Amino acid sequence: MTKPGQEPSSEDTASGGTDVTALPGGARAALEAVLMVLDQPASATDLAAGLNLTVAAVEELLLELQREYDGYTVKAPDMEIASNAGFTSSPRGFELRNVAGGWRIYSRAEFADVVGAFVLEGQTARLTQAALETLAVIAYRQPVSRARVSAIRGVNVDSVVRTLTQRGLIEDSGTDPESGAVLYCTTSYFLERMGIGSVAELPQLSPHLPGLEGIEEFYDAGRM
Amino acid sequence: MTKPGQEPSSEDTASGGTDVTALPGGARAALEAVLMVLDQPASATDLAAGLNLTVAAVEELLLELQREYDGYTVKAPDMEIASNAGFTSSPRGFELRNVAGGWRIYSRAEFADVVGAFVLEGQTARLTQAALETLAVIAYRQPVSRARVSAIRGVNVDSVVRTLTQRGLIEDSGTDPESGAVLYCTTSYFLERMGIGSVAELPQLSPHLPGLEGIEEFYDAGRM
Amino acid sequence: MSAESATPLAQRGQRTDEDDGGAPPEAGGAPDAKKPGFEVRLANFTGPFDLLLGLISKHQLDITEVALATVTDEFIKYIRNLQKLGEEWALDEASEFLVIAATLLDLKAARLLPAGEVEDDDDIALLEARDLLFARLLQYKAFKQVAALLDATLELEARRYPRQVALEEHFAAMLPELVWKHTPQQFAALAETALKPRIPAPTEVGLAHLHGSPVSVKEQAELIGLRLQQGRPLSFRALIADAESTLVVVARFLALLELFRDQVVAFNQLAPLGDLTVRWTAPGAEWSSDHLTEEYEEQP
């Protein structure tokens, strides 16, 4: 499924003329229908374009659905009875999450054991300690060359980097203009797997570096 | 995503001991969680087995969910207020269908236009270079797991394999008895497009190219 | 934290090639990792810093100079054990251990000496080496901790399964008809390209931080070779006397390691921190630096 690039106002698509609000369940249900066929996170902008709605409207609907799936008060035009009664339903078996810059439906973590029995694939092999450390260095120092990662870890990281690339967690992101070394970055799949929107949401590194606030400058000064 | 083959009584599964009714949202939410991520329709028997519930209970829940998604009276233990009030919600954007003995969640038919437009946007008639190369690897090394194709190509091929499957060029041809990974083969549609009668008619490759024996599996369970 | 980090340290060193089967991916990974040697055994800890941190925590010490001096002997013993077990060390992996072992020995030796003031350049160099080791060790420790956080998050997140179902048939049927222009021959050519083993990107040695400096280990090895082949043993101090920068010193040191590996030089050191004397042991000028190129040239 790819992201539509057109503006919400464009009329040259099949949905150009569809007024989703007129359909049963309205825009909310239409959005839900689209969420059902996604195989990767879709941004509010892409969803808005596909639905002929404004981004703001879609964002509001997304948050509404998210809350609803989580079991908070239902809020929708024709559900006022329930809403007014302050009625709270139990959480659904799935949730709507905003990860890696897009929205996507996930089964709820509580049901992992049950769901796991049905989903043979998607079972993820655990990363080794070496792979985790390498991934951590790349995540915090990206874009970064293998040489720099090995300098930090104290060992050669070539084969670990290869594994992480094959797993789609990191990718080649060009070369260093000075040294010509290949630089690596984390991928959006990494963000998805971490359940975060961007690398800026990774836990801070500095609290783990007690009394060494200046260490980054020290290394960047070319000493290491 | 495949259906578990075990009987309801078997206890050797991960979910063997899980009492789904004790989880938030109970058995209904657990069933929903499974349905949301199921790729292939699953029978009530299979669902009951995975959920440690009786077939009758699962059938009842399935009908309940189906009605609920369609917008009829909500009926669930903690939704009695709404239920008693004869409250009817608007239909959801998805529906639960029983097709050929199996249950699966689909996007609601009424939204086919919107969903179709969203799906088709950006789709091209051409395969990307990455897709072509992946197809070539699968054609010459079939049956082969995604993990091995990734190892040969050096990158994650999950989404490309999805595209090729969607395009009907490759298909799932069982699982590797050792790793449990899904193995892929080319389809008769592929042969048709190539204009050949069988894969044996593909031109020979130079004998010195590595086969699969030199390729290490970087995955334990097959897929990352 | 994986199960392997829970393995008692004492057992770690005894794990040998039998690990091949169950070794973590990167250990048994690429075909070239099949070489029997250091890397396989490294699977049990993830490098010299990991080992050092493991030893320090075993003694319930904080990372201090004292801790480093305390665990130095164990660190060295550990490397010796590996050496006994192993056939050959992969130089780029072993050299890190050696560099750190050397620094640790220096630190320990310095602590044994009467507390004195900084007197000469050597003392300053020692202090710098100590600070650098501390800094690197602490930095590594920080990354090790966030790696544990990543592991926990990844594990937690893996409990959520994304909805990722095949496209409903009626939508799949709407996809534009595939344009297919490849003949079987063209397709075969494509397969040839895709299946051809990709030339692995050159193995880097951690010199990228040196900002593309023109210093080459190969050249330095040749230079050292020429000097030593005069016949007279020279001290390392003498060998680096004309080095115009730290980088050249490092390159010469690495070059010496290479020469030692090729068994064309021998080292002699009479006392801790004493002069390191290097002697040419190969008959004549048989040795050639040609093979050094692949290992140290970093330019693509």
Helix axes B112-120, A26-35, angle to 10 degrees: 40
Residue C221, pLDDT above cutoff 90: no
Confirm or reject contact between C177 and chain B (CB < 8 A): yes
More confident residue, C53 or C91: C53
Residue C13, pLDDT above cutoff 50: no
Residue A11, pLDDT above cutoff 60: no
- In the prediction, which pLDDT does A133 show? 96
Which member of C178, C192, C197 has the closest CB to residue B205? C192
The token pair at B160 is: 């490309």
Confirm or reject contact between C198 and chain A (CB < 8 A): no
C283 CA: distance to closest CA in chain A (Å): 33
Selected residue of B99, B164, B192, B209 to mutate for chain C interface (largest C Cβ count, 10 A): B209
Q: What value does the mean pLDDT of chain C take? A: 72
What is the chain B residue with the closest CA to C187?
Answer: B136
**A119 contacts B30? CB cut-off 8 A:** no
- In the prediction, which pLDDT does C206 show? 45
Strands B144-145 and B182-186: antiparallel
- Regions of chain B with pLDDT less than 70: 1-17, 73-88, 208-224
- Provide, as residue numbers in chain C, all residues whose Cβ is less than 8 Å from the Cβ of B195: 184
Alpha helices in chain A (DSSP H): 26-35, 44-51, 55-69, 80-84, 112-118, 129-141, 146-153, 158-166, 188-194, 215-218
Which member of A153, A155, A182 has the closest CB to residue C201? A182
The token pair at C296 is: 């140290």
The token pair at A37 is: 């066929």
More confident residue, C64 or C179: C179
B209 CA: distance to closest CA in chain C (Å): 6
- Provide, as residue numbers in chain B, all residues whose Cβ is less than 8 Å from the Cβ of C164: 37, 39
pLDDT tens digits, residue range A111-147? 999 998 888 665 567 899 999 999 999 999 999 999 9
Q: Are B31 and B25 in contact (CB under 8 A)?
A: no
- In the prediction, which pLDDT does A35 show? 95
Burial of A169 (0-12, 13-18, 19+ CB in 10 A): buried
Per-residue confidence band for C29, with pLDDT thresholds at 50, 70 and 90: very low
Gyration radius from chain A CA atoms: 22
- Provide, as residue numbers in chain A, all residues whose Cβ is less than 8 Å from the Cβ of C139: 152, 209, 212, 215, 219
Residue C154, pLDDT above cutoff 90: yes
**B218 contacts C25? CB cut-off 8 A:** yes
- In the prediction, which pLDDT does A211 show? 55
The token pair at A165 is: 């690339």
Confirm or reject contact between C35 and chain B (CB < 8 A): no
- In the prediction, which pLDDT does C168 show? 85
**A13 contacts B117? CB cut-off 8 A:** yes
Distance CA A135, CA A122 (A): 20
- In the prediction, which pLDDT does B213 show? 57
Q: What value does the mean pLDDT of chain A take? A: 81
Which member of B39, B115, B136 has the closest CB to residue C171? B115
**B34 contacts A111? CB cut-off 8 A:** yes
The CA–CA distances, whole Å, from C239 to A195, B60, C225 equal: 55, 86, 11
pLDDT tens digits, residue range C182-204? 899 999 999 998 888 776 665 55
Percentage of chain A lying above the pLDDT 90 cut = 53
What is the chain A residue with the closest CA to B21?
Answer: A111
Which helix or strand (DSSP H or E) is residue B188 part of?
helix B188-194
**A104 contacts C163? CB cut-off 8 A:** yes
Strands A182-186 and C276-280: unpaired
Confirm or reject contact between C201 and chain A (CB < 8 A): yes
- In the prediction, which pLDDT does B73 show? 56
**A159 contacts C167? CB cut-off 8 A:** no
DSSP string, B94-110: EEEEEETTEEEEEE-GG
Q: What is the mean pLDDT of residues A12-16?
A: 44
- In the prediction, which pLDDT does C273 show? 72
**A91: DSSP letter:** P
- Provide, as residue numbers in chain C, all residues whose Cβ is less than 8 Å from the Cβ of B196: 184
Distance CA C267, CA C280 (A): 9
Distance CA C216, CA C237 (A): 19
- Provide, as residue numbers in chain B, all residues whose Cβ is less than 8 Å from the Cβ of C182: 132, 194
**A162 contacts B115? CB cut-off 8 A:** no
Confirm or reject contact between C166 and chain B (CB < 8 A): yes
- In the prediction, which pLDDT does A149 show? 93
B182 CA: distance to closest CA in chain C (Å): 15
Neighbors of chain B with 3 or more C-beta pairs under 8 Å = A, C
Neighbors of chain A with 3 or more C-beta pairs under 8 Å = B, C
Which member of A116, A129, A151 has the closest CB to residue C5? A129
**C192 contacts B206? CB cut-off 8 A:** yes
Selected residue of A45, A115, A135 to mutate for chain B interface (largest B Cβ count, 10 A): A115
**B127 contacts C165? CB cut-off 8 A:** no
**B205 contacts C166? CB cut-off 8 A:** no
Per-residue confidence band for C121, with pLDDT thresholds at 50, 70 and 90: confident
More confident residue, C119 or A26: A26
Query: 3-state DSSP call for residue C126?
Result: helix
pLDDT tens digits, residue range A170-197? 999 999 888 889 999 999 999 999 999 9
Spatial CA neighbour of B88 closest among C290, C99, A79, A151: A79
Go through B135-147 and write b for each residue having 16 or more CB atoms within 10 A of its CB, e for each that does not. bbbbbbbebbbbb
Per-residue confidence band for C214, with pLDDT thresholds at 50, 70 and 90: low
Residue C52, pLDDT above cutoff 70: yes
- In the prediction, which pLDDT does C299 show? 40
**A128: DSSP letter:** P
**C150 contacts A136? CB cut-off 8 A:** yes
Burial of C207 (0-12, 13-18, 19+ CB in 10 A): buried
* Cα of C83 vs its chain's centroid, Å: 15
- Provide, as residue numbers in chain A, all residues whose Cβ is less than 8 Å from the Cβ of B25: 71, 90-93, 108, 110
Helix axes C48-58, C121-157, angle to 10 degrees: 90
- In the prediction, which pLDDT does C222 show? 83
Which member of B36, B104, B209 has the closest CB to residue C196? B209
Residue A30, pLDDT above cutoff 90: yes
Task: Out of A1-10, C58-67, C239-248, pick the least confident.
Answer: A1-10
The CA–CA distances, whole Å, from C215 to A219, B115, C166, C207 equal: 20, 61, 56, 10
Residue C252, pLDDT above cutoff 50: yes
- In the prediction, which pLDDT does B88 show? 57
- In the prediction, which pLDDT does C233 show? 86
Tell me which residue has tokens 């003031």. C117
Gyration radius from chain C CA atoms: 25
Selected residue of B52, B89, B118 to mutate for chain A interface (largest A Cβ count, 10 A): B118
Provide ipTM, 2 decimals.
Answer: 0.82
The token pair at C57 is: 């925590």
Task: Out of A19-28, A67-76, A143-152, B119-128, pick the least confident.
Answer: A67-76
pLDDT tens digits, residue range C80-118? 777 666 645 555 567 777 788 888 887 777 776 655 555
**A78 contacts B15? CB cut-off 8 A:** no
C168 CA: distance to closest CA in chain A (Å): 8
**C6-9 contact pairs (CB < 8 A, 24+):** C7/C44, C9/C54, C9/C55, C9/C58
Which member of A33, A123, A165 has the closest CB to residue B94? A33
**C170 contacts B112? CB cut-off 8 A:** yes
- In the prediction, which pLDDT does B212 show? 58
B200 CA: distance to closest CA in chain A (Å): 29
Which member of A108, A182, A212 has the closest CB to residue C138? A212
Residue A83, pLDDT above cutoff 50: no
